[in-house]
A and B are shown apart, each in its own frame.
Chain A
Amino acid sequence: MPEHYDAIVIGAGHNGLVNAAYLARAGKKVLVLERRHVIGGATVTEEVLPGFKFSVFSYVVSLLRPEIVRDLNLPQHGLTILPLESTLTPLPGGDHLYRDEDHFRTMRDIARFSPRDADAYEDYSRTMYFMAKAVKIIMDIVPPDPTSLHPVELRKLARLAKHFLGLPEDQFYTLVRLMTMSSADFLERWFESEPLKGTLCASGVIGTYLGPRSPGTAYVLLHHYMGEIDGAYRAWGFAKGGTGGIARAIARAAQSFGAEIRTEAPVSSVIVRGGKAAGVALENGDEIGASLVVSSLDPKQTFLKLVDPQLLPDELLADVRKYNIRGSSGKVNLALAAAPEFACMPGVGPHLRGAISISPSVDYIERAFDDAKYGDFSRHPYIDIVIPSMIDPDMAPPGRHVMSCFVQYAPYQLRSGDWEGQREAFGDCVVDTLAEYIPNLKDIILHRQVLTPWDMEQVVGLSQGNIFHGELSLSQLFFLRPAPGYAGYRTPVPNYYQCGSGTHPGGGISGAPGRLAALEIIKRRR
């Protein structure tokens, strides 16, 4: 092997790039290998039609850890987060619920459905602020193993215990509820009006193969609340240039520290010599040596594909094989000849610069899940829309638009047929649903890109198309992510590490797994 690096990172998704940047910053000679011709993984912007830039997969940002932004000087490397300040919930029949940064205006709009809910809205926001603050500590640490008697682990456990037991009583109880309840039940504690509950509970099911009434989804609500922008919790933003802008900024930061990034370099396996990782073999047969190898791919690929599963302890093998990574969502990206006109709010306005959520009620989303439970895509799906060109005009030619539609549910395993055959029917169903709220939609579509979970697996390698590299259920979080004993970013193979969203603290463009893995690697190898 003529080539040799201190570290090879497999996959140039945001976590791989963050990991590489931190390792390079620590003085290591780092190589990032990306299978595709573009970097970013699911954090990618592509010009699918000339002049029209799609945030093909992930589309908004909130969870990106502020310490990563600072440590890697991301603004200096081109990161710009534009505000995404409102949420419009169009309703069947032409009504709407509109929430934005204007507190009292938002309250008045909620009060049209329930004066009581308007009042409770602030209490809810405050509770979630406390909850986000309470769990923030776990976002920034390598999970300790509660069964370990190692003094370092015990110290960490003691610190966590002290933190959580030190919470005010009511916050502690709420946290336990949040960890156990369904998002719908949790929200019922504050709210009674459907459009508000429907839209809020949608955050509890995004990316999961669960319905709003499934226990455990309340935690996912919190996961989406933990994003911080400029110190404010729950702020959502849109990266200039699309989410690919984030990957590009991280890549530039990594390169500024000396990391090398190679695209169209698919890795076929991790080379193991004498029981230790010693480099990677590419699909073209090349071999590259490295003192350590980090996989940013999901646990299925990290453990079952890149290395010989025979190298794994039986228990880990069983855990990873049963690791829940069912994909549940699809994406429809549209190039539009003009601005979409919402029946509930015609014309161009600030509502088009925020999120638009097709989530009129809890029942609506639960029904969407009912279809998926038995292997069909939802006939009336939950759709989370943003119109990036309204926020960043450079995303489309002047006067034209791109519209990003995250669609749920679209189960990876279809009851009948396959996604190749069902893709366009799924796209039609989404457009038909949207057209109920956007009457001019069908007349202005120039191009339609439909991505099913199967496509996500094919294109960016997300196993089963799961956007979070595995379900964000309590059974797969913290010291259980991805498997007991392996939440500390290491693997049973010495010199082989993991840093993807399948590790703590999970999915979303947080970069936290990539960073925590790098810090752990640097610490272990000092």
Chain B
Amino acid sequence: MSIIRSMPIPTPFYARTSPLNKSHEWRNWSGYLAAGIYEPIHDREYYAIRNSAALIDVSPLFKYEISGPDAEKLVNRIFPRDMTKCQLGQLLYSPWCDDDGYVIDDGTIARLASDRFRITAADPNLAWFQDCGYAMEVAIDDVTTSLAALAVQGPNSREILRQVLSEIDLDALRYYRLARGKLGAHQLTVTRSGYTGDLGYELWIEPEHAGLLWDRLMQTGAAYGILPAGIIPLDIARIEAGLLLIEVDYISSRKALTKDQKSNPYDIGLGWTVDFNKGSFIGRKALFGIMQKGPQWQLVGLQLDWNSLEALFTAEDLAPQVAGRASRSALPVYKNGRQIGQATSHTFSPVLKNYIAIATIETPYARKGSAVQIEFTVEYVRRKAAATIVKLPFFDPPRKRA
């Protein structure tokens, strides 16, 4: 009876993903229906990412295009990376900051033409980009709804795409590069990128051809073990790949309620994106100060000592039991009884057969190989398990770049 459209709304792939979603577990991703998981258990979907191929609907990503004579100037002003080095057909990953050097969001920037860039973002950024481009000769467009986005990830992804797409040389398409191709008569953009840390591609196509793209990939992929995967198995893969999730591993400076909730790129392991040789950009002055002083925090990996974890359960006469899904509720990390940081994303890694976490740790304690403790609740009692600080990513197969 009501005329108010119930929320969240479908993506361009919903007609295909909906009947496949046997678990009926949907998540609200930026106001869109995103399959959390298609099957009752995440294992098959997860292993599709790591062992065969997975189709992941990533249409809810915010997408912007910046074009015009000043396009390069503007992206170089917004992002701390040197965007003049972004060649035609190349993608760069970068955070972007406010004037105080705090991270607003992170995403990829693709150069579609000498004077045209496409940016993916986790949060709405139109007003911010427009403000950054004040008095510049640029057009800034929100193309979120005019592009359907589908990730094809996993070792077999290239083989499947080779058979489905035409007029594209996939062998020549290197990591973090893009190429145009065709699905039948329809144009699409292929980027070699993804949120899994595996061999994979993301396909960008007009929404009206989304169904066809999905069908062709599923038909051809069947012989290669392709499966649709939801964002729950994807979350495990991205933790293994050491990739950050906004509002989980760090809080956007636009949403932070206190200064302490904000992060600069150095705090979250993205100091490498900051380039002081490129001239002025937003946050430069603040970031230069932070760089000189050294950041307060470091982003690290934590590998749990399984025996120590098991002992917590053994003490309760239980076999070790950890959630199969990734958790986004932060756990305190200790050194000698003092809290030195927090594990913001953690999961059991099916490929590594260990419990792993992405953690933010006070710089003096963030040395690789250092022994720390992580809080673990067993039988309602908070306990501590031993863990070691390791380098990210946890999982980085050669095929990702091959």
Contact = CB atoms under 8 A, between A and B. Distances in A.
A262 interface: no
Interface residues of B, number: 23
Interface in A345-370: 345-351
A125 to B, nearest CB: 10
Contacts of B5: 105
Given A104-B30, A118-B124, A347 B7 contact: no
Interface stretch (B78-86, B125-133, B227-235, B263-271): B125-133
Contact of B4 (A103, A104, A115, A345): A345
B259 interface: yes
A105 B2 contact: no
A115 B7 contact: no
B4 A351 contact: yes
B249 to A, nearest CB: 20
Contact of A345 (B3, B125, B127, B255): B3
Contacts of B2: 347-351
Given A103-B31, A107-B31, A126-B255, A116 B4 contact: no
A264 interface: no
Contacts of A118: 124, 126
B254 A349 contact: no
Contacts of A119: 124-128
A449 B166 CA distance: 72
A314 B257 CA distance: 48
B8 interface: yes
Contacts of B8: 104-105
Contacts of A105: 4-5, 7-9, 31
- Interface range on chain A (Cβ under 8 Å from partner): 20 to 34
Interface in B1-30: 1-5, 7-9, 28, 30
A16 B255 CA distance: 40
A241 B75 CA distance: 56
Contacts of A141: none
B31 A108 contact: yes
Contacts of A122: 124, 254-255
Contacts of A115: 126, 142
Interface in A80-138: 98, 100, 102-105, 107-108, 115-116, 118-120, 122-123, 126, 129
Interface string A331-352: 0000000000000011111110
B1 A349 contact: yes
B6 to A, nearest CB: 9
A115 B255 CA distance: 19
B130 A168 contact: no
A120 B124 CA distance: 9
Nearest to B62: A119
Interface string A229-249: 000000000000000000000
Contacts of B257: 126, 129
A116 B255 contact: no
Given A108-B31, A116-B127, A348 B254 contact: no
A118 B2 CA distance: 23
A112 to B, nearest CB: 12
A346 B3 contact: yes
Main secondary structure of the interface of A (DSSP, over half): helix
A102 B32 CA distance: 12
A348 B3 CA distance: 8
B291 to A, nearest CB: 23
Contact of B127 (A103, A123, A347, A351): A123
A198 to B, nearest CB: 19
A179 to B, nearest CB: 22
Contacts of A100: 4
A159 B30 CA distance: 42
Contacts of A348: 1-2
Contact of A98 (B4, B32, B126, B130): B4
Interface string B19-60: 000000000101110000000000000000000000000000
A202 to B, nearest CB: 21
A67 B28 CA distance: 35
Contacts of B254: 122-123, 126
A349 B31 contact: no
Given A104-B31, A126-B255, A349 B4 contact: yes
Most buried by A among B126, B127, B257, B259: B127
Contacts of B1: 347-349
B1 to A, nearest CB: 5
Contacts of A350: 2, 4
Contacts of A120: 127
Given A115-B142, A126-B254, A349-B1, A104 B126 contact: no
A181 B285 CA distance: 32
A100 B2 CA distance: 14
A349 B127 contact: no
A108 B1 CA distance: 21
Interface string A155-169: 000000000000010
Contacts of A126: 254-255, 257
A120 B130 CA distance: 11
A158 to B, nearest CB: 24
Contacts of B7: 102, 104-105
Interface in B114-142: 124-128, 130, 142
A105 B2 CA distance: 15
Given A122-B254, A126-B254, A126-B255, A107 B3 contact: no
B4 A107 contact: no
Q: Which 3 A-B pairs have the closest CB atoms?
A: A104-B31, A349-B2, A119-B127
11 contacts: A104-B7, A104-B31, A105-B4, A105-B31, A115-B142, A119-B126, A345-B3, A345-B4, A349-B2, A350-B2, A351-B2
Interface of A: 98, 100, 102-105, 107-108, 115-116, 118-120, 122-123, 126, 129, 168, 345-351
Interface of B: 1-5, 7-9, 28, 30-32, 124-128, 130, 142, 254-255, 257, 259
